[in-house]
Amino acid sequence: MASQTRARTTTFPGAHRSAAKTAGHWLLASVGKKVLRPGGRETTHWLLDRIGIPGRTVVEFAPGLGITAREILARDPRRYVGVDSDAQAVKTVSAILPAGDHQVIEASAEHTGLTAGCADAVLGEAMLTMHTDRRKLEIMREAARLLRPGGVYAVHEMGLTPDDLSPETKDEIRKALARSIRVNARPLTIPEWVALADEAGFQVTDTYCTSMSLLDPRRVIADEGVLGTVRIIGNVLRRPEVRRRVLAMRRVFTTHRDHLLGVGIILTRTAD
């Protein structure tokens, strides 16, 4: 029981950084928020329902706190492999693995070191958005390399809408996100996501869009439950610097709500 308590209270990447400098998702983790995905649990569940987990090998990029890893493992994969560049995340997720042929490795998503064709499905959530388009493409190509022919890559990211959004508005949104969440986020429109997927060797076979309501009270309750939401609110109220950051992030999401989406995309690896 003591080891479980330590995992809940001290184990998230970036825990050593000040509230002013911590990336937004880890700031939220520090006050107890577990679901840190732009489209919430609903989008994660939509993806998991479509990648055929039972009896298959699933690779997850950047599992972070292990919230989605738990859901993958509950669906009885033959093998689960997590890939995270943060040593603390590797330790955190490794602690929840059941007995069996499962592991978490410390590596970057664009250079995993895993064997080509080792996976039936690859999943990545809220991580491509945080990179330049060039690095997005490198990560997607690594997913394609890991997949067997016909394998699927499920991504859960932040999107922009409408498809013809002006370059000026895109830049305004990206700058506002960078200032508030302390990460150089670069969300894309659906056609832009599709174009990158095609360049990486994938065909888009299904998409899902929902509001980007990470800090909307209704979404927080849906993702965290009533008790979890009360706990998060209490933690935010007790920490003035965190409160200022959270309110600033919420203002950005609210200001640009008409142009931000949570996006789920199922990509199928095309034949070589």
CA angle 134, 137, 141 (to 5 degrees): 145
Q: Which of 24, 1, 2 has its CA nearest to residue 12?
A: 24
Token pair recorded at residue 257: 């709500």
pLDDT in tens, 217-231: 999 999 999 999 999
Cβ atoms within 10 Å, residue 150: 10
Structural domain span for residue 103: 2-269
Alpha helices in 182-267 (DSSP H): 190-200, 217-237, 240-255
- pLDDT for res 272: 67
CATH number of the domain enclosing 250:
3.40.50.150
* Mean pLDDT score, 258-263: 97
Domain count, the chain: 1
CB 257 within 8 A of CB 211: yes
- pLDDT for res 270: 87
- pLDDT for res 6: 36
The rounded distance, in Å, linking the Cα atoms of 82 and 96 is 11
Tell me what percent of the residues of the chain surpass a pLDDT of 70: 93
Residues 6+ apart with CB under 8 A from 110: 135, 138, 139, 141, 142
Residues 6+ apart with CB under 8 A from 140: 128, 153, 196, 197, 199, 200, 202, 267
